[in-house]
Structure 1
Amino acid sequence: MQRIAFVIFPGFQMMSLAALSVFEFANITTGEPLYDVSIVSEHGGQVPSSIGPGMDSAAFDASHFDTVLVCGGVDVPDTSPGLLAYVRSAASSTPGAARRVAAICTGAFILAEAGLLDGRRATTHWLLAREFEAAFPKVKLEEDRIFIIDDHIWTSAGMTAGVDLALAMVEKDLGGDIARSVAKKLVVYHRRAGGQSQYSALLELEPKSDRIQSALDYARRNLAAPLPVETLAEAAHLSPRQFSRTFRAETGQSPAKAVENLRLEAARLMMEQGRHPVDIVARETGFADRERMRRAFLRAFGQPPLAIRRNARADA
């Protein structure tokens, strides 16, 4: 049996505990008590959450846990010497330390403050990425990731990404079939790859009219083709001038910028999940050549396409 500890603190976010259900349903799926889950905190007892209601917990002690999962909060969590000492001890190489230590969402701030992320790749919620980078320059932050595994240290993005992280743990422990069955029972996607973007280019645009949505849908289906304003305007049944004005008013972007973001999203997905040569990915997503795509990747992600692929394979 593997023992899992969820670490909470005053102001933790309840959604962090959604990952707990992954381990519960792994037990249900296999019909065996493979995971024993505990909720722990520095002083034990009722710990208030960010929304008010508390959660009962056991106090930190010398108990051994196979996995220690640090929950996140709505804002940057407040830490204490006791909390930092606990996670440092859990991640150490001494006998009785955890096999893996993880953080959900802003729990990464706690691991970073404890010094566990120095020199490591990590992620956290995109909304606090700039604050994280400023506070912890030694950490190799990759803000546009669902979760990242660096040796025995795991970090995930927003609260629901903790479910993806927990599913990845179950897959590593018990295999893909069990993890898929757990995901199906929880009615969640199995599973968002660690390198998948935290947000969608289409969701970010949020057009208000069906005409602009139709143009975006057309663009997404035809990324390999030239997509000048005239073509998109025709798909929206508007004049080019009216289309450009309406598009910017509804999305806050120019049509050209939106198309580039759609191409970047599609190209990144192809690089992460496929084995196509860079030239083919560039052609299929409308970048025309690999150098143009490389420059776009550097602007958007700070990494070239091949580095994105290497990182995705490392996560897998």
Structure 2
Amino acid sequence: MAVFTRPGLHRVAVLVRHGLLPIELGIPHALMGRARSTTGEPLYEVITCAVTPGAIRTEGDFTVNVEHGTEALAEADTVIVPAAHDRDEPYDRGAMSPGLGAAFARIRPDARVASICTGAFVLAAAGLLDGKRATTHWRATERFQRLFPSVRLDSDVLYVDEGSVLTSAGIASGVDLCLHMIRRDHGAAVANAVARTTVVPPHRDGGQAQFIRRPVPEPSRSSTGAARAWALRHLDRPLTLRELAERESMSVRTFTRRFREEVGVSPQQWLTRQRIERVRQLLEESDLSVEQIAARAGFGSASTLRMHFQAVLGVSPSAYRRTFRTDSTAGADGGPPRTPA
């Protein structure tokens, strides 16, 4: 008997274990479960499963009753593995329990597998991250690197997308990861609508570096927030570090240091990412040519836009537009098809 009961929807199985963090179980249900098409139809069916169905202990003072077993994994298009604080699991020592190993063996070869927080340990123990980039909670990075030296760990990012395998950092990064998967599956408009419904930002800047406690070299009430807000209103301009620093009455050197401390990346990296996000929005929601979009996003030329877009997203602007452009963004008048980027 089929576990998933709604034909045509993307099937998501959340595989939970004892020691489950309840908030991480709720993230895929709250976000992917609320994703809707332009006509209001659900886009995902999300179910919870466990190696042994029944009462699953949580980190809190209650259990979660899980109805489905690993048969759900054989049907799932996406499998999500949240974190669990249970030291009895051998994956925490670089191995898999027989039950968990058998569960992963049921996952289809073409399925997408993702982890939230230290759920990355399970994916690594299963061999899914060998030779790939990945991330996990910054407090677990040393142990992760020691156990899984073949994984290229990036401890500064919120999530890593390696195509069929995705990993995210701490708890809240599960939100970023799920929104990213929704955006990848159905475009920015759907992901943004889910973000608005759940009152979270559709995209967060920087990485884990902004959440790691570091000594502050000198006390100051200054911030780079005003400069960032000003830059977002003037992305079409060729902004310089000196201009941004002057908005905060700082030297370029001080501004650059403070910016990285607050945001987790350099000002130039941040500007490039914001311009890429502006390009994505315009590719999806407008009929503008690549040359026009390059001007509005501050890249100066179409060739520069294409170079940065390919480097960040791994696809060309034209391929991205073909993938994510929908009838809902063709214009209120329902006009003719857009000119390819």
TM-score (norm 2): 0.62
For residue 47 of structure 1, the aligned residue among 50, 53, 56 is: 56
Distance 1:186 1:24 in 2: 11
For residue 35 of structure 1, the aligned residue among 16, 30, 44 is: 44
Counterpart for residue 303 of structure 1: none
Over 3 Å counting, the alpha-carbon distance change for 1:264 and 1:152 in structure 2 is closer
Query: Residue 272 of structure 1 contacts residue 309 of structure 1 at CA under 8 Å; is this kept in 2?
Result: no
Distance 2:33 2:190 in 1: 12
For residue 86 of structure 1, the aligned residue among 103, 113, 119 is: 103
Distance 1:163 1:260 in 2: 24
Query: Residue 6 of structure 1 contacts residue 70 of structure 1 at CA under 8 Å; is this kept in 2?
Result: yes
Counterpart for residue 138 of structure 1: 150
Distance 2:202 2:76 in 1: 26
Over 3 Å counting, the alpha-carbon distance change for 1:122 and 1:218 in structure 2 is closer
1:11 counterpart = 2:12: no
Please state whether the residue corresponding to 1:31 is helix, strand or coil.
coil
Per-residue CA deviations over 1:227-263 (Å, capped at 9, x if unaligned) read 9xxx979xxxxxxxxxxxxxxxxxxxxx899548449
Over 3 Å counting, the alpha-carbon distance change for 1:153 and 1:218 in structure 2 is closer
Please state whether the residue corresponding to 1:200 is helix, strand or coil.
helix
Distance 1:309 1:87 in 2: 35
Over 3 Å counting, the alpha-carbon distance change for 1:133 and 1:75 in structure 2 is farther
For residue 198 of structure 1, the aligned residue among 190, 208, 216 is: 208
Q: Which amino acid aligns with 2:23?
A: M
Q: Which amino acid aligns with 1:86?
A: A
**Unaligned segments of structure 2, at least 5 residues:** 1-8, 92-96, 229-239, 277-307, 321-341
Distance 1:76 1:267 in 2: 42
Counterpart for residue 196 of structure 2: 184
Alignment of 1:60-209 (within 5 A): 60-61=70-71, 63-74=74-85, 78=89, 79=91, 80-90=97-107, 93=109, 99-192=111-204, 196-200=206-210, 204=213
**Unaligned segments of structure 1, at least 5 residues:** 234-254, 276-307
Distance 1:266 1:148 in 2: 21
Distance 1:24 1:158 in 2: 21
Distance 1:143 1:163 in 2: 17
Distance 1:125 1:310 in 2: 28
Over 3 Å counting, the alpha-carbon distance change for 1:218 and 1:24 in structure 2 is closer
Please state whether the residue corresponding to 2:49 is helix, strand or coil.
strand
Counterpart for residue 270 of structure 1: 271
Counterpart for residue 221 of structure 2: 214
Distance 2:242 2:54 in 1: 58
Q: Which amino acid aligns with 1:268?
A: Q
Give 1:35 shift.
1.5
Counterpart for residue 59 of structure 1: 69
Per-residue CA deviations over 1:187-229 (Å, capped at 9, x if unaligned) read 0001236xx312428x84687xxx933245599789638x9xx
Please state whether the residue corresponding to 2:117 is helix, strand or coil.
coil
Q: Which amino acid aligns with 1:224?
A: R
- Percent same amino acid among aligned pairs? 31
Distance 2:201 2:259 in 1: 27
Counterpart for residue 224 of structure 1: 242
Q: Which amino acid aligns with 1:138?
A: S
Distance 1:259 1:192 in 2: 18
Give 1:314 shift.
4.0
Q: Which amino acid aligns with 1:107?
A: G
Query: Residue 34 of structure 2 contacts residue 42 of structure 2 at CA under 8 Å; is this kept in 1?
Result: no
How many matched pairs? 249
Query: Residue 4 of structure 1 contacts residue 38 of structure 1 at CA under 8 Å; is this kept in 2?
Result: yes
Over 3 Å counting, the alpha-carbon distance change for 1:312 and 1:132 in structure 2 is farther
Query: Residue 126 of structure 1 contacts residue 143 of structure 1 at CA under 8 Å; is this kept in 2?
Result: yes
Query: Residue 117 of structure 2 contacts residue 167 of structure 2 at CA under 8 Å; is this kept in 1?
Result: yes
Query: Residue 224 of structure 2 contacts residue 255 of structure 2 at CA under 8 Å; is this kept in 1?
Result: no
Cα-Cα RMSD: 3.6
Please state whether the residue corresponding to 1:224 is helix, strand or coil.
helix
Q: Which amino acid aligns with 1:69?
A: I
Over 3 Å counting, the alpha-carbon distance change for 1:76 and 1:174 in structure 2 is farther
Give 1:309 shift.
8.9
Distance 1:148 1:218 in 2: 26
Distance 2:111 2:141 in 1: 27
Distance 2:87 2:170 in 1: 13
Query: Residue 28 of structure 2 contacts residue 46 of structure 2 at CA under 8 Å; is this kept in 1?
Result: no
Distance 1:77 1:30 in 2: 46
Per-residue CA deviations over 1:103-141 (Å, capped at 9, x if unaligned) read 111000000001110011111111111111111000011
Counterpart for residue 26 of structure 1: 35
Query: Residue 120 of structure 1 contacts residue 140 of structure 1 at CA under 8 Å; is this kept in 2?
Result: yes
Distance 1:27 1:163 in 2: 17
